[in-house]
Structure 1
Amino acid sequence: MSDAAAEGLTFTESEPGSFLRPYVTHLSAYTERRAAPTPRRQPPFAGVVMIFGFGVPLSLSGPAGFRRLASFAGGLHDTYVDTTTAGVAEGVQVNLTPLGARRLLGMPMRELTNRLFSLEEVLGGWATATVERLAEAPGRAARIALLDEALSGRIDEAPEPDRRVGWAWSRLVATRGTVSVASIAAELGWSHRHLVSRFHDQIGLAPKVTARVLRFEHATGRLRSGMSLADTAATCGYYDQAHMNRDFRAMAGATPRELVPPPRVLG
């Protein structure tokens, strides 16, 4: 577990417990204080965000419209969401794998794709009670421990996701979206249509779009490491820089260099 701070934001991060690790990739409890509205643009990533929040709600603007929510969940997106924070907000953020979210929520993930919902809309009274318990917990570390236990109990009681879709998802993740979708379908003995149908249910996005998000995520990481535009495009499976630019504009509303400016050279 580690503590960190940025301007207006303090948070504690922790690895999930061993049971949750196949389903949860990130757990952090935070306190955010903003005297003036603070906008952020959140590009897509290959996961599902849940915020168990209390205090001032966030303003959220995405493909499905505008909402103000303190506690919410969003399915996989293939484009960005704009958020604005003002005042004091606290809570715990959980990033789940799509299959982890499918097991936790017990609903087809296509119903969440490119959309945001209040936690109560997707998790009912369990979400309300959990948020109340988190608000009463004595500090960020205690909140993380409490939510880890609550999520573990709920996921443990739910049916496992489709293992074959889990294998296909793992192949896409391992290759950062560069493996052929046709080859995945062939290895599973499924038609392309059946693979797409199972992905819509268990993941939320079609395999080809999922691969596109994974390539975008990989390319963003490579640019942040200092890799050139040309090398990033080649390494991450784009046809050329123009192809990468189009994907970045669609998913982040910005060019690669607008999203990840080159490092400043001091001299």
Structure 2
Amino acid sequence: MTRLVDLRRGGSPTSRWSAAMGEPRADLRHVVRSYGEYDEFSTGAVARREIPAPDAVLVIEFAGPLIATGAVDEGTSRVAAFLGSPARGPALTWHDGWQHCVEIRLSLLGVYRLFGPVRELAGRIAPLDALWGRAGDELTERLADADGWTRRFDILDDVFAAAVAGGPEPDAEVAHALARIDGTAGAVPIGELVTETGWSRGRLAERFRAQTGLTPKGAAGLVRFHHAVTAMSTGRPLADTALASGYYDQAHFTREFRAFAGCAPGAWLRSRLDGLVGAGIG
């Protein structure tokens, strides 16, 4: 297929990076938000703070394993292919100075369609072979052997299309509730979702969590936080960002930011990595 790809690069005296960003084929866009192939080099080790967004990230490394820990993990893992799912807290990753990988951003219900029930995945680093067994290892090997991002993205299209065809379909009520949360930037009252789905509050919470890893309230908070971070990253003042995103005031936003990111908004902005994409841990 013909695929539009955004090629990017950057660097500093001590680092450099390049990226190819593309979309999946049209019939997968409810499952896959984006593909990216990244290659970065730094003269020193790189530590990142990955703040949560309302999607999950599948990472497949070619340069060697990362050290990673999810928001609720009790320790670190050394992993070369893994799924990171969002929760109320950041994930942390480390590499020794060279990283070459593909990164696939999946919708929350896309994770369910590919891997089945996700109740226990929220906030965790899940090795791909634990989710897909030998099929996960085979995908990693095929991608590593492929010649460039064009072929790698095509392989991902084919593998994901086959997995979705044989995977579970989310409840229509869960899909509706998630769409309402996304469409209102997290502002929809949970009581409205209960009324609109015709389910009890308990059933909605249970089914929603089984298929997204989050409760409706948790998903709404995450979507609101993501919208606020997007606004803040453009240089919008914190007080304006807070009010426009539905927080009571700047202090409320700061408390929520600390809960999701593990640091204050200003500290996160100041921790952007020199010459690389993302934010550091310190």
Normalised by the length of structure 1, the TM-score is 0.93
Which residues of 2 match residues 131-210 of structure 1 at below 5 A?
131-210=140-219
- 2:76 counterpart of 1:90: no
Tell me how far 1:67 sits from its aligned partner. Answer: 0.7
Distance in 2 of aligned mates of 1:109 and 1:159 = 12
Query: Which residue identity lines up with residue 103 of structure 1 in the other structure?
Result: R
- 2:99 counterpart of 1:99: no
Distance in 1 of aligned mates of 2:175 and 2:26 = 18
- 2:233 counterpart of 1:229: no
Distance in 1 of aligned mates of 2:126 and 2:166 = 23
Checking the alignment, whether the CA contact within 8 Å between 2:112 and 2:168 is kept in structure 1 is: no
| Match of residue 29 from structure 2 | 21
Checking the alignment, whether the CA contact within 8 Å between 2:35 and 2:153 is kept in structure 1 is: yes
Query: Which residue identity lines up with residue 160 of structure 1 in the other structure?
Result: E
| Match of residue 40 from structure 1 | 48
Checking the alignment, whether the CA contact within 8 Å between 1:33 and 1:86 is kept in structure 2 is: no
Per-residue Cα deviation, 1:123-178 (whole angstroms, up to 9, x for no partner): 11111111111111111222112112211121122232112101100000011111
| Match of residue 218 from structure 1 | 227
Tell me how far 1:182 sits from its aligned partner. Answer: 1.1
Checking the alignment, whether the CA contact within 8 Å between 2:69 and 2:124 is kept in structure 1 is: no
Identity across matched positions, percent? 35
- 2:123 counterpart of 1:119: no
SS in 1 for 2:43: strand
Distance in 2 of aligned mates of 1:223 and 1:87 = 29
Higher normalized contact order (CA 8 Å, seq sep 6+, divided by chain length): 2
Query: Which residue identity lines up with residue 188 of structure 1 in the other structure?
Result: T
Tell me how far 1:110 sits from its aligned partner. Answer: 1.2
Checking the alignment, whether the CA contact within 8 Å between 1:10 and 1:31 is kept in structure 2 is: yes
Distance in 2 of aligned mates of 1:6 and 1:85 = 19
Q: Name stretches of at least 5 consecutive residues in structure 2 with no aligned partner.
A: 271-282
Checking the alignment, whether the CA contact within 8 Å between 1:104 and 1:158 is kept in structure 2 is: yes
Distance in 1 of aligned mates of 2:161 and 2:7 = 23
Tell me how far 1:91 sits from its aligned partner. Answer: 2.4
Distance in 2 of aligned mates of 1:77 and 1:90 = 26
Tell me how far 1:87 sits from its aligned partner. Answer: 4.3
Moved more, 151-160 or 166-175: 151-160
Checking the alignment, whether the CA contact within 8 Å between 1:41 and 1:81 is kept in structure 2 is: yes
Q: 4+ runs of 1 displaced by more than 6 Å?
A: none
The alignment's C-alpha RMSD in Å is 1.4
Query: Which residue identity lines up with residue 33 of structure 2 in the other structure?
Result: T
| Match of residue 80 from structure 1 | 90
- 2:63 counterpart of 1:59: no
Tell me how far 1:53 sits from its aligned partner. Answer: 2.0
| Match of residue 238 from structure 1 | 247
Distance in 1 of aligned mates of 2:47 and 2:118 = 28
